[in-house]
Structure 1
């Protein structure tokens, strides 16, 4: 079956924005067009495809089964065309751009080392990093707005339909400033419940590991909490208060080595989640993205062998 020549680039772009936003009104705002114009574009596309792509409800719009199937091809097609146009504009030998979705758990050690090695080998390469919760980053990957997502993803429901490659396992640890009251004398584990606690955001993949560790240790998390994915905010708050931080080991490894933070021994350590690369199998990797995969694998192997950090 030949592609209907009446399907235009604007049809695909509007469809992707509607899928991304889950709302005609929000999609129209992003595209800087009126909502009736957006509705007309969608109607045209559905008529050309002879199927409904979205289900309308009071809360917005959601993809039908046909819409989900079309999304698998529309996103990569638009992204490939954009890359082709960019390649022509920049010239045949332009270095290119790789867009990485990065979880906070890997932004302290893994990603800086990956970027360092990439720039060492490819001097003109642009590495664009987007951070956020796993659900958001995987949604960006699904529609082609990022090339790869790096972090703990295996327990996220949004990983369905995407590809995950394990790099290494990383545990979590409870840390505090060096002169914290809990670190003076013999540790009373139950006293942990009396201090403010820094945790990952509720609903995130890494939060599930954090909650599981407290259950395994027979402890109840403090009711006074800071919930955030910001490593910088967590570190600053813990260093300036009596708060405890249940942190990914990578996020605090250098602080522990320098003595700026200390571990609080709970008697057992969270066994560790799988850190890896998520990719969209329906989206061909650019050369820059493939370079990034190669270096991520290289640094991941160094982690597993204890050669880095």
Structure 2
């Protein structure tokens, strides 16, 4: 079946920006055109495709099932065209670019090792890293704005239709500053954990469900004093300067524990956590730079597993 020649590049760009922004107004701002122009372009595309691509509400727009199906191909198609144009520009094809979405669980330990390996092996490689919640990053991957997403995301509904490659499993552990009062007590009485502020991932994220599960297993309610964040740097600084207890992914605090800057609380159990891995878009052929990243991630993950289970 031939592609309808009425579909223009501007239709795809507009469609992708609306999907990315979740709002016609924000899409118009990002595209530097008027909102009526965005509405008109979207209407043209929906008429050409003979289907509704977005549901409108007071909160914005969300893709319909048809919109999600079209998104699987529109994003990679636009990105492939951009990559083709980019590769033909004089000299620019020599420096590969890998665009990674990275969850906070791996940005402080695994990823620096991966980038170091890549730059040791490939002198002209640019590694562009975006951080954020899994839902946002997987959305960017789906529309072709990212090449890979790395982290723990198997429970995210946004992963449907994407490909996930397991690298290693990671536990959630409780950590505090050195000298914390809880290090001097018998933690078989886990109710003592409720006496201190707690640091948790944001509600609704994959790792928050594991953190909540740990408190359920302890048989206590979450303390009212909470810091909810995905920022590893903020969590680390706050815990080191307070009596807060941090429910942290093991990878995020591995180096802090090795240096003695944080101490694990041994409560007799660990939440097994989930699978850390690489998510990719099966509709997008991987670039050479993306393949290099996957190889470096696999090697670094193998070393990490060996360190955990020598």
Q: TM bucket by the smaller chain?
A: over 0.9
Separation of aligned partners in 2, 1:185 and 1:57: 53
Q: 1:147-186 residue pairs with structure 2 within 5 A?
A: 147-186=147-186
Aligned residues: 309
| Post-superposition offset of 1:25 | 1.4
Q: 1:98-113 residue pairs with structure 2 within 5 A?
A: 98-113=98-113
- Residue in 2 that maps onto 1:51: 51
- Residue in 2 that maps onto 1:33: 33
Runs of 5+ in structure 2 lacking a partner? none
User: Does the CA contact (< 8 Å) of 1:193 and 1:222 recur in 2?
Assistant: yes
User: Does the CA contact (< 8 Å) of 2:173 and 2:271 recur in 1?
Assistant: yes
- Residue in 2 that maps onto 1:208: 209
User: Does the CA contact (< 8 Å) of 1:299 and 1:308 recur in 2?
Assistant: no
- Residue in 2 that maps onto 1:249: 250
Q: 1:200-279 residue pairs with structure 2 within 5 A?
A: 200-279=201-280
Separation of aligned partners in 2, 1:98 and 1:293: 10
| Post-superposition offset of 1:71 | 1.2
- Residue in 2 that maps onto 1:133: 133
| Post-superposition offset of 1:146 | 0.7
Separation of aligned partners in 1, 2:11 and 2:176: 53
Change (3 A) 1:307 1:94: farther
The superposition leaves residues 182-223 of structure 1 with CA deviations (integer Å, 9 ceiling, x where unpaired) of: 112444432110101000111100000111111112222211
Runs of 5+ in structure 1 lacking a partner? none
| Post-superposition offset of 1:308 | 9.4
- Residue in 2 that maps onto 1:281: 282
- Residue in 1 that maps onto 2:79: 79
User: Does the CA contact (< 8 Å) of 1:213 and 1:269 recur in 2?
Assistant: yes
Secondary structure of residue in 2 paired with 1:10: helix
Separation of aligned partners in 2, 1:140 and 1:93: 23
Separation of aligned partners in 1, 2:183 and 2:62: 51
Separation of aligned partners in 1, 2:50 and 2:206: 38
| Post-superposition offset of 1:268 | 0.5
The CA RMSD over aligned residues, in Å, is: 1.7
The superposition leaves residues 107-158 of structure 1 with CA deviations (integer Å, 9 ceiling, x where unpaired) of: 1111111111000000110001100111111111111111100000111111
Separation of aligned partners in 2, 1:307 and 1:213: 21
User: Does the CA contact (< 8 Å) of 1:95 and 1:122 recur in 2?
Assistant: no
The superposition leaves residues 228-268 of structure 1 with CA deviations (integer Å, 9 ceiling, x where unpaired) of: 01111001001111111111111111111111111111111
Separation of aligned partners in 2, 1:186 and 1:6: 72
**Structure 1 outlier segments of 4+, above 4 Å:** none
Query: How does the TM-score come out when normalised to structure 2?
Result: 0.95
Secondary structure of residue in 2 paired with 1:303: helix
